[in-house]
Amino acid sequence: MAKSIPALQYLRKPEDLPAAPVYAVYGDEDYLRRRALSVLCDHLKKRGLEIKRVHDLDSIAPLLDELRSPNMFGGAAAFVVSNRREGPRHEASSRFKEEFAAYLEKPGKRNVLVFDAATWQRNLTVPKRLEERFPTVVAEELKPWDFSAWDQIVQMQAGVHGLTLERDAMAALKEAVGSSLARAESEIAKLALLVKGKQVKAADVAFACGYEGNDVTFALCDAIITGDSKSALLHASKMAGKAETGSILSFLGLLRFQLATLGRVALALAQGAPEQTALSSAPRLREALKPRLLKVAKGLGRTSLVQALGVLLAADEDMKSAAPDPAALLISVVHRLCETLHAGQTKAVSVR
């Protein structure tokens, strides 16, 4: 069986893939497979082939006729067959096993067949025979510890936009997208519009790759403990529109843990601990947020921390005894915490 070319290796040197009448691009890493297929299609276009997509094959005969027949009124074509199992419906390479196997023995001389193989069982007839005779590209899922491959792919994505990510920016991006290459690509496209210059820093990633959706609870907590009063009050205003007793209780519980973390860092700094030692009290904090949390922690003393805790205790008591309006309580808590933790910033922001 011929050895398949890893997708990352192929993307670095696509011109090394030999010309052939049949190809297959397969693998579990969806982004890499789609990217490798796109590069292959671009290469085939440069060879003068028209790209034709083939989905939901109900009959194989028309496709095989076109593959074997020269185009009388134009150039050759590359037929990209979607090979995917959907529910009980098997992929094309299994449903038309005999026909494809016979074609692989004697393929057409002008047109090209390409399998876009989201499903590709290498021990079955068609995949096995194809890999024995023709070039294939495999897009395997990246291992969690394979940082080098992830970094190379992301730098490749950034290079398309003329960008380069610094080491800290790379770590921040990976944390923001959860190692998803597809999400990394979309976030890099966003960075290309927002970043000034060609070098992307961790602060750029923190600014551009923010939170998504309507739930801004985590974003609100982060803004409070990192000194961003403007964002905190804007997030609170957004959250207040759908505030309920249950969501406010969850928010207060999460915020209590966040403030405890901030307090441990502040007290460690006050006792003369180095910054990195103090930050060991915040192991779950995202890297991009640590410099801002340090800045807030350096300006806090025991009095401010006790006052912040008092705000939370008062809110908890109100929720249990007074049945306040959840939206009003949320705005009040956020405003009072911002005044306590980073005084002077809240005056510039008004919440409607």
Q: Could you state, in order of their start, the residue ranges of all structural domains in the chain?
A: 5-138, 147-208, 217-348
- Please give the Cα distance from 347 to 352 (Å, whole number): 14
In the structure, what pLDDT confidence band is assigned to residue 54 with cuts at 50, 70 and 90? very high
Query: Could you report the per-residue pLDDT of 183-223, keeping only the tens digit for each?
Result: 888 888 888 887 878 899 888 887 777 544 456 788 888 88
Model confidence at 137: pLDDT above 60: yes
CB 281, CB 267: distance < 8 Å: no
**Proportion of the chain above pLDDT 70, given as a percent:** 92
Torsion of CA 265, 266, 269, 274, to 10 degrees: 30
Q: What is the CATH number of domain 5-138?
A: 3.40.50.300
The per-residue pLDDT for 213 is 46
Model confidence at 145: pLDDT above 60: yes
The per-residue pLDDT for 36 is 95
Query: Could you report the per-residue pLDDT of 268-317, keeping only the tens digit for each?
Result: 898 888 888 888 877 667 777 788 888 889 988 888 889 988 988 888 88
Residue-averaged pLDDT of the chain: 85
Model confidence at 21: pLDDT above 90: yes
Q: Contacts from 245-252 at CB under 8 Å and sequence distance 24+?
A: 245/319, 245/326, 247/217, 247/326, 248/319, 248/326, 248/329, 248/330, 249/319, 250/217, 251/217, 251/220, 251/221, 251/330, 252/312, 252/315, 252/316, 252/319, 252/333
Q: What is the CATH number of domain 217-348?
A: 1.20.272.10
Q: Residue 271's CB: how many other CB atoms inside 10 A?
A: 9
- Please give the Cα distance from 182 to 168 (Å, whole number): 20
The per-residue pLDDT for 329 is 84
**Proportion of the chain above pLDDT 90, given as a percent:** 32
Query: Could you report the per-residue pLDDT of 239-264, keeping only the tens digit for each?
Result: 776 777 777 888 888 888 888 888 88
Torsion of CA 146, 150, 155, 157, to 10 degrees: 160
In the structure, what pLDDT confidence band is assigned to residue 139 with cuts at 50, 70 and 90? very high
Residue scoring higher pLDDT (144 or 45): 45
Most confident of the ranges 79-93, 167-181, 337-351: 79-93
The per-residue pLDDT for 325 is 80
The per-residue pLDDT for 196 is 79
The per-residue pLDDT for 116 is 95
Which CATH number applies to 147-208: 1.10.287.3510, 1.10.8.60, 3.30.470.20, 3.30.310.10?
Answer: 1.10.8.60
* Biggest CA-to-CA distance, the chain: 86
The per-residue pLDDT for 348 is 38
The per-residue pLDDT for 279 is 83
Model confidence at 122: pLDDT above 60: yes
Q: Average pLDDT for residues 76-82, to the nearest whole number?
A: 93
List all residues 6 or more positions away from 190 whose beta carbon is below 8 Å from its beta carbon. Answer: 208, 209
